[in-house]
Structure formats: structure tokens, C-alpha cells
Structure 1
């Protein structure tokens, strides 16, 4: 299966049912870990027949991949403050809240652990980050239109530098992020991008 052929839920399944399945999937991941979570358990917790889940997501990797992209729990709002620096600071703040809040922080860390431990998830993890990058591109496109960034700015590099700082500090080092962290991180990265 290629990344463009991700299974979709049944048209008649409805957004409420889909959300129940995705919420149950992410709760099971955070609680049990990827290796121990099961489609049967997710079906029971969401109140959906397991054959329905298997019909639209042929594996727990596929189900987790869809849940990562579409579940509101991992949603990262894309700001539009009218200013690149303001947009990036808000984006970093939103990521900090996602990674340090609950249950979103536990789910994000469990997703990372699952990705490191299961090669079958690689395609779905790439889909997740491709989806996020496509959303983040609008922030850079607006900045280019306003003359705040040069055309051809590497969006992925810019976002990786910002997100990497948050992930490293909050998840790997497990250090607190003060309320000035977003401003300082954006200043360090953005001023470096402008200089090049």
C-alpha cells in the first residue's frame, strides 16, 4: 500500500463513530503500548464491531496512522497572526501544549515509541508528518508573500528546527519549558534563516 492509498472509513460510518474509534485507538496506545494494543480491544472500547474496523483499516498500523492524522487529540492548530514571528511563536506554544498536556503528551510519546519499535508503522508516520508539513506550508507561504522570508525557504528545515527544539527539551530531556521558550526558540531559528 502506498501512502496515497490509505484506507478510508465507510461513508456511512459517520464522523461520531470514526472519532470513537480513533479516540479508543489513541487511548489504547497510551495505556497499553503499540505491541499490546489490539483491534479487538479498540472495538470493545469504542462500541464498534471489530469486523467494521478491519474492513476499513486492515491492520492496527493502518488504524493508528489514520487516528494520528484525523483525531482531534493530536490536532496542532495553524496560527495566522499576520506576522511570521507571531505565527511561529504561536505554533511552538501550541506544540508545547500538545507535548506537555494530557492525554495528548502521553499519546505523542507513545506514537514515538511505536514508530521506533515497529517498521510497519513507517509509512503511516511519514503520512502523519507529510500532513503536518502541508498544513505548516501555509505559514511559510504567507510569510513569503509578505516579504518576511525569501522564496524557496525550506519549510521542512524551518519546522524541524522549531519542533525539534520542543521535542528534545520536553520529551527527551524532560525539562520544563518556561513561558519565554517559544520566543527564544523562534528568535534563534528565524534570525538564522534570515541570515542565510
Structure 2
């Protein structure tokens, strides 16, 4: 069972406004400066939340980043439903390509992955985000099983990993860059590689 990251429980009223101000400021600064240059003082200046409040609730810049990354699990996101497994996986990959390559958007997700290499707490938060995203992606494979595209017992998480893996490889390992065409090719390879049982 995952341990709760400090400052992620959602209260109401002014406390919730304070939480959102602090964590949104953290995300802005993470995208602008990267993890290594992010400080509690900078978050206080950007958010208008006093730094003693930030230290009391999140303890450190690392705690702020971890809690901010987990905000992604609060966002609305529904798996695409195009009528085919390959089409659904292509849509997932196209969203990744857009998110990680569009100027003005790519800075935050790239900085988030970098933070996970520098901070154990950020890594835990990013892992929890993807656990949530994998769970929300499961209907893609459930529907594919119903249509007879893949066998019953196919592991939804592995199907998504196989489809998205080439996109992340191009972005963060080989540094080749990735295009919408690459996203489609990867999605075509993802359909048959996720058999479980």
C-alpha cells in the first residue's frame, strides 16, 4: 500500500486554496527552473503562501514537488475509445507526443521525469501517477478483449507499456525525437505484445 505523501490530502475552503496555490506555483517553477533550482522561498514568492506554512505542511522543496506531481491523479482523464485497440493506443501515444514536444507544455513533464532521477520522493509520486494512469487505461484492453482483438487475460498495463515504451525511448534514451507517425507505429506494435494470461 502506498504511503500518503505529505500535503496531498484535499481539505476544503481556505486550506484548499492555499494547497492549490502552493502546488500550482511549484509546478510552474519546476517547468521553468527544473528541480535543482526550485526552492521553498521561490514557491512562497510565486504563490503568496508564507514559507513557514510551506515548511510546516510540505517540509521541503522535495516535499512540494512530490505533492505537486501527484496532482495529476486529480485531473480528469478518460482513456480514448476509437473502436479498435490500435486506434486507442495511437491516441494515447499522440497525447504523449503532444505533451512532451509542444513548446510551453513540454517543459513541465520533462522536468518531472528529471526530478524523479534526483529525488526518491518525486520518483514515488511519479510512479503513483502512472499507477493511476494505467488503471484508467485498462478499459482500452477490456474493450479489445470483448471485440476479440486480444485474448482474455491480456494484461492491460503491459499492453500500454509496450505501446508507449518506444515513445519514451525516443524522447529520453536515444534522444531521436518523436513524431505523430512514430506514435502510430509504436501503437501498432503494442497490440500484440501485451498478452498476459
Q: Do both share a fold (TM > 0.5)? A: yes
Matched, 1:189 2:190: yes
Q: Are the equivalent residues in 1 in contact too, given 2:40–2:51 (CA < 8 A)?
A: yes
Residue of structure 2 in register with 1:132 after alignment: 133
Q: Which runs of 4+ in 1 moved over 6 A?
A: none
Instruction: Give CA deviations for 1:76-99 in whole Å, capped at 9, x if unaligned.
Output: 652122322211110010011011
Q: CA deviation at 1:173?
A: 2.9
Residue of structure 1 in register with 2:36 after alignment: 35
Q: Secondary structure at the residue paired with 1:41? A: helix
Q: Secondary structure at the residue paired with 1:3? A: coil
Q: Secondary structure at the residue paired with 2:37? A: coil
Cα distance change, pair 132–118 in 1 and its aligned pair in 2 (3 A) = same
Q: CA deviation at 1:115?
A: 1.3
Instruction: Give CA deviations for 1:31-50 in whole Å, capped at 9, x if unaligned.
Output: 32223211221121022233
Q: Are the equivalent residues in 1 in contact too, given 2:82–2:88 (CA < 8 A)?
A: yes
Which whole-Å CA distance do the structure 1 matches of 2:62 and 2:71 have between them? 14
Q: CA RMSD in A?
A: 2.8
Q: Are the equivalent residues in 2 in contact too, given 1:162–1:185 (CA < 8 A)?
A: yes
Q: Are the equivalent residues in 2 in contact too, given 1:99–1:171 (CA < 8 A)?
A: no
Normalising to structure 2: TM-score of the pair?
0.80
Normalising to structure 1: TM-score of the pair?
0.81
Instruction: Give CA deviations for 1:47-102 in whole Å, capped at 9, x if unaligned.
Output: 22334434543443333233223259x98652122322211110010011011123
